[in-house]
Amino acid sequence: AQKVTQAQTEISVVEKEDVTLDCVYETRDTTYYLFWYKQPPSGELVFLIRRNSFDEQNEISGRYSWNFQKSTSSFNFTITASQVVDSAVYFCALSEAGDYKLSFGAGTTVTVRA
Amino acid sequence: DTEVTQTPKHLVMGMTNKKSLKCEQHMGHRAMYWYKQKAKKPPELMFVYSYEKLSINESVPSRFSPECPNSSLLNLHLHALQPEDSALYLCASSQGRTPGTDTQYFGPGTRLTVL
C-alpha cells in the first residue's frame, strides 16, 4: 500500500523567508504520480503540481520550486520569499497507475507572518 | 478552465433531515469523486464514479448515497446523519481515461454541520 509522510506539522516564518516542506513517500509500483495541493482557510484544495515517477527534473514556477529525488523517495516543496498569502495547509499526495485513490500526507500548516 | 463547483457552500441539518450536496464540472472529465475532510486532517475518499458508474465505495455508511445523473453532475444524498458526520465535503474530478494517472481538481467544498 502506498503511503505519504509529511513530518512537519506546522511551520511559521516571517514574510520573505524561504520555507521548505518535506514529503517522503512509499510505493512498490514503478509507475506513480506525486502531487502537491494547497488548502487555504477557505477550504478549496488547489492543485499546484504533478510529477510522474519517470521524470525527476526539478521544477520552478514563480516563487515555488519542487525537488523530486527517487533515491530518497522524496518530493520536497520550497516557497521562496514567502508572502502572507502563502499561509495555508499544504498536502503532498501520491497515486499509482491503475488506481483512482489519491493517498494524502497529513499536511503541513504554513503560517507566514507579516 | 479547471473549475469544479459545489452547492451549497454551507449546510446545517438535523439528524432526521434529508438533504443533497451537488457538484458540477464542465471540463469533460469522466471520473468524479466525493471526499470527506475533518478538521486538521487530510481528505478521505468516499466514492469514485467512472463514466457515470460507481467504481469505488470506501465502505461508506448507507446514510450517504451518491448519484451520478450524467457526466457533468455528481450528487451526494444525505439521510439520518449523525453529528460525527459534520465535516467539509469535497468533490473532485479528473479526466478518468486511465485511473491514477491524471490530476484531480477539487471544488470549494460544502461545510456540513449535523445538529
Q: Binning pLDDT at 50, 70 and 90, where does residue B2 land?
A: low
CA of A12 vs chain B CAs: smallest distance (Å): 16
Contact B100 A47 (CB under 8 A): no
pLDDT in tens, A55-68: 888 889 999 999 99
Q: Which of A99, A105, A107 sits opposite B100 (nearest CB)?
A: A99
The alpha-carbon gap from A68 to the nearest alpha carbon of chain B, in Å, equals 17
What are B8-59's pLDDT values in tens digits?
Answer: 999 999 999 999 999 999 999 999 999 999 999 999 999 999 999 999 999 9
Answer yes or no: are the C-beta atoms of B84 and B91 closer than 8 Å.
no
pLDDT per residue as tens digits for the range B93-104: 999 888 888 999
Q: Which of residues 38-77 of B touch A (CB under 8 A)?
A: 40-43, 45, 48, 50, 55-56
Q: State the cell numbers at B19.
A: 438533504
Q: What is the pLDDT of residue A32?
A: 95
Segment A28-39 shows an average pLDDT of 96
Render B29-78 in DSSP notation, one character per residue: --EEEEEEE-TTS--EEEEEEETTEEEEE-S--TTEEEEEEETTEEEEEE
pLDDT in tens, B56-88: 999 999 999 999 999 999 999 999 999 999 999
Decide if A23 contacts A77 (C-beta within 8 A). Answer: yes
Rounded CA separation B113/A27 (Å): 36
Q: Is A101 on the interface with B (CB under 8 A)?
A: yes
Phi then psi for residue B4, to 5 deg, are -120, 125
Q: Quote the CA–CA distance of A89 and B40 in Å, as a whole number.
A: 9
CA distance to A27, A39, B8, B13, B85, per residue, from B81 (Å): 36, 26, 17, 9, 6
Interface probe with A: pick from B57, B104, B105, most Cβ of A within 10 Å = B104
Residue B110: half-sphere exposure toward Cβ, Cα within 13 Å? 28
Edge-first strand order for the sheet with B64-70 is B4-7, B18-25, B73-79, B64-70
**What is the reported pLDDT for A67?**
95
Q: Mean of the per-residue pLDDT values for chain A?
A: 95
pLDDT at A57: 86
When CB atoms are compared, the residue of B42, B107, B111 closest to A107 is: B42
